[in-house]
Structure 1
């Protein structure tokens, strides 16, 4: 299936539909191979010890996988997560944004399955791996 939303359209959609997280995430790239999204790390994402919190990394995975699904099906705000699994692999680099590189594994009529590897910007070693399934509402 072809890409139907580019990074600019995706960022505009997120800003409109999810104003509560506006300014925290940015889609950097949308292509046939998947989506790269960024958590714009600030002090609100840190936990004691100065590392990025697990919930912040999970949120990046969820947003980026949502975007890889929407990049193929279009603006379907009510697509929702139905299953999620995340492995935290190593401590993120302090003071760096996190990047999620996502790929769509399967796109069906009702479900989409995708995964994401999360990296500290500038690092080749992933800090987390996530797999999610999204439910796609029926077309009206």
Structure 2
């Protein structure tokens, strides 16, 4: 299987279809069945104490799998999350970007399954691990 969308095309699609997240994410690396994305952490992502909130970590994991799926199948805005399991393993560094390492484990006709490790920039150990399933709309 080969990529159907480039990193630039994915970002253009995301900003066009989901303007509410414009400027929050960046793609650092893209390959077949994998992507590395960054959450550009701002004040809106922080919880008391200055660390990144759980919902922001979930958002990064979710967007990462979504973009990995779209990179492989093309621009299908109606692909949706059907399941997510996330383990928050350690506290992220204060006011620091998060980086998601995502790989697709399965890409079928109707379902895609991905896993994501989320790192706080500068930390060697992951702060979260997520497993997500996406439903792919019929062609």
TM-score, with structure 1 as normaliser: 0.96
Q: 2 CA distance for matches of 1:61 and 1:33? A: 15
Report the CA distance between 1:112 and its aligned residue.
0.3
Report the CA distance between 1:78 and its aligned residue.
0.3
Match of 1:123 in 2: 123
Instruction: Report if aligned partners of 1:6, 1:29 keep a CA contact under 8 Å in 2.
Output: no
Q: 2 CA distance for matches of 1:52 and 1:95? A: 7
Instruction: Report if aligned partners of 2:119, 2:125 keep a CA contact under 8 Å in 1.
Output: yes
Are 1:56 and 2:61 matched, yes or no? no
RMSD of aligned alpha carbons: 0.9
Report the CA distance between 1:95 and its aligned residue.
2.2
Report the CA distance between 1:29 and its aligned residue.
1.4
Match of 1:78 in 2: 78
Match of 2:87 in 1: 87
What's the secondary structure of 1:126's corresponding residue?
A: coil
Correspondence list, 1:8-23, <5 A: 8-23=8-23
Structure 2 unmatched runs, 5+: none
Structure 1 unmatched runs, 5+: none
Match of 1:103 in 2: 103
Match of 2:7 in 1: 7
Q: 1 CA distance for matches of 2:43 and 2:135? A: 33
Moved more, 53-62 or 121-130: 121-130
Report the CA distance between 1:5 and its aligned residue.
1.3
Report the CA distance between 1:33 and its aligned residue.
5.3
> After the TM superposition, which parts of structure 1 deviate over 3 Å for at least 4 consecutive aligned residues?
none
